[in-house]
Amino acid sequence: MMFQIRLMRGLRHPNYFMYELRTTETVGKVWKHSILFILISGLVFGLGGYFGMGSEYLAKKFLTMSSEEFQIQKALFVSGQVVWGLFYGAGILYFSSFWFWSMTDTELNRYIVMQMLVLFILLLEKAIMIPIGLTLGIPEISSPFSLGPIAQSLTNNRFLIYFFAGITLFKLWAISIQYMYVRALTGKSRVVVLALVLGLNLMLWLMSAMFSFIQFEKII
């Protein structure tokens, strides 16, 4: 029996979807769905960049640049966001899947299907933050869904602020998806699965905080 990738079913009825994913003989080729999700990731990040998400440094330069220079800088920023979105989507799908696959004996494609659910949740968060940022002027570091605002009230350490800003309700939702699916797919103990899932996400949060902390626009 060929497995059918129906992600909304996976979110609405996780137990049934997990059973199908675990018991099906083969998941089949997932590259078409993977490419589609990676392209959607680039589109969502590009839209966020177009509407100014993460471009605070450009706003500071607005008064010192001509209109033409500003438009060029904005176009470069949006293009960079699209490229980053493509890498982000590919990383969430494949890097995370390789992490779980390398430590278990479960087929890689089953983890890729799981990570499609995770990427859907993360892109949903990104998409929701676009209108919130536009209407309320809230940057992602101060997302109402994250621990960023709390961290900003407790410390001036920018690295810690970026780190805790990366911990959001949507990411905790994604972690719960990973925990449930990895445990169902592998049958490993709760402690082992929790260590695998938290280890991966802690590493991703630290990497995200590091890249956010480094002001690449000043280096360039």
Contact 103, 196 (CB under 8 A): yes
CA distances from 105 to 21, 25, 115, 186 (A): 15, 15, 17, 8
Residues 6+ apart with CB under 8 A from 111: 96, 97, 100, 101, 182, 185
Amino acid at 15: N
Kindly state whether residue 24 falls inside one of the protein's structural domains.
yes
Kindly state whether residue 131 falls inside one of the protein's structural domains.
yes
Write down the pLDDT at residue 215: 53
pLDDT tens sequence across 23-66: 887 787 788 899 999 999 999 999 998 887 776 656 666 556 67
Kindly state whether residue 220 falls inside one of the protein's structural domains.
no
Number of domains in the chain: 1
Contact 21, 113 (CB under 8 A): yes
Write down the pLDDT at residue 208: 86
Kindly state whether residue 1 falls inside one of the protein's structural domains.
no
Write down the pLDDT at residue 179: 95
Range of the domain at 30: 8-215
CA angle 137, 129, 10 (to 5 degrees): 170
pLDDT tens sequence across 2-11: 566 777 777 8
pTM of the entire structure? 0.89
pLDDT tens sequence across 106-154: 899 999 999 999 999 999 999 999 999 888 888 888 899 999 999 999 9
Kindly state whether residue 128 falls inside one of the protein's structural domains.
yes
Q: What is the mean pLDDT of residues 9-26?
A: 82
Write down the pLDDT at residue 85: 94
Q: What is the mean pLDDT of residues 181-190?
A: 92
Contact 132, 138 (CB under 8 A): yes
Give the residue from 220, 33, 208 showing the smallest Cα distance to 112: 33
Query: pLDDT tier at 83 (50, 70, 90 boundaries)?
Result: very high
Kindly state whether residue 17 falls inside one of the protein's structural domains.
yes
Kindly state whether residue 54 falls inside one of the protein's structural domains.
yes
Write down the pLDDT at residue 213: 66
Instruction: In whole angstroms, give the CA distance from residue 112 to residue 192.
Output: 20
- Count helices and strands (H / E) in the chain: 12, 0
Query: pLDDT tier at 220 (50, 70, 90 boundaries)?
Result: very low
Query: pLDDT tier at 219 (50, 70, 90 boundaries)?
Result: very low
β-sheet bridge partners, residue 26: 2
CA distances from 122 to 174, 193, 197 (A): 8, 21, 16
Kindly state whether residue 2 falls inside one of the protein's structural domains.
no
- Reply yes or no on whether the pLDDT at 181 is more than 90: yes
